[in-house]
Structure 1
Amino acid sequence: MLEVQQLAVNYRGVCGLDRISFRIEPGQLVGIVGPNGAGKSTMLKAMLGLIPAVGGKVSYCTCPLHQQLERVAYVPQRSQIDWDYPITVWNVVMMARTRQLGWFRRPGRAAQEIVKAALERVEMLPLKGRRIGELSGGQQQRVFLARALAQQADLFLFDEPFTGVDKKTEAMMLEVFAELRSHGKILLVSSHDWGQMLNQLDRLLLLNQRLIADGSPQFVMTPEHLHQAYGVPMQAPFHAEEPTFFC
């Protein structure tokens, strides 16, 4: 189980996250939604210790998450990646295994087979020698999805993975997410544009610094909750139902 308890972040006295709490069981695909500046990326980074929290704790299988980051695959927003860095597709994905093996050990056949399988899964093996900056946005995102797969993690965090990708890549990512969920993995995915993924989510977290609603997409995406989050009247994509989770 992934458990976040009273997680809080401040930026020079300004609240970034206000005591966020939730639990996620294995085999769940959970979305994060909210307006720009709501704290979606902040929450993912704070969970991993990439930015300091002023309060709260994050645990996985009852142990602090920051002590077992080898079990976490994190794909950041595209804007945080240096696409001009001269590295090939193969080496980007191999970085997942380098982290497991140590920086001074050469990857063996087993590691190479894992990387090959990950690239084949996202249909990027034919471009393994291409530099990452030469690819389209969808191809680049598939490479980073392959790197996450090659890490063979238990917990997957994706920050805005659908930004700038084509429909084929989006469909492939949704297929991979479903496969990971079926294998008992935990997936936490933030996005502005959900589209058909809303129907595939087990749960949805609606944020605006605080956790406004937590539950099924049908329960969370109501006019009342959306108004609280976005500050303006909004039409809901679902009819309301009885809550399954709420904070």
Structure 2
Amino acid sequence: MRIAIAGAGAVGQSIARELLEGDHQVLLIERNVQNYQPKNIPGAHWMLADACELASLEEAGLESCDVVIAATGDDKVNLVVSLLSKTEFAVRRVVARVNDPLNEWLFTEAWGVDVAVSTPRMLAAMVEEAVNVGDLVRLMTLRQGQANLVEVTLPDSTPLAGRRVRDLKLPADAALVTILRGGRVIVPQADDPLEAGDEMLFVATADVEQGIRAIIHDRTTAD
């Protein structure tokens, strides 16, 4: 895929490195001369320009990008980049970084954002995950708030130990997408047993999260 990243600061460069390792074509757009450092990531294409200017995005050939990532440290810039990418260049997927949690409500489809990634929210989620074993933690909002990526770690005393994935009676708008067990990533199969310490990741709408909590605490699972 061809992916454009607006903002070549520490966050933008880190994203670029990860994407290059996945054999993607990466374009970094940076307006600050101090952050314009092509030698740091020679495998990426670099452009010294303001990503909020339509002419700059036209020169970058944004219409040929599969994904645009607005990764600057300024929420206003990220919103403008997202809106231009979607409305002027019809980019299929737009991901935007949220710097201030108070601005999170703006990062929606109306501003061209498909996925909003809130760094403060994710850090808070990691803290919750570390201290609240057995509780449901929301990691990320997907599809303009239509669904969330949520996680729960089964505690040592879980009544689900030994149960199988097929025994989980999940709500209609919820899906168990993976189980992290030690150093393994498990794609759940119906006959897979659950174990204490399993980190379970679900995609679910907000209104069924309570139902997932009930299942994790063994209030609705089958015998």
TM exceeds 0.5? no
Task: Determine which structure has greater relative contact order: mean sequence separation of CA pairs < 8 Å that are 6+ residues apart, divided by chain length.
Answer: 1
More helix by share: 1
Q: TM-score range by the shorter chain?
A: 0.3 to 0.5
TM-score (norm 2): 0.34
Structure number, greater radius of gyration: 2
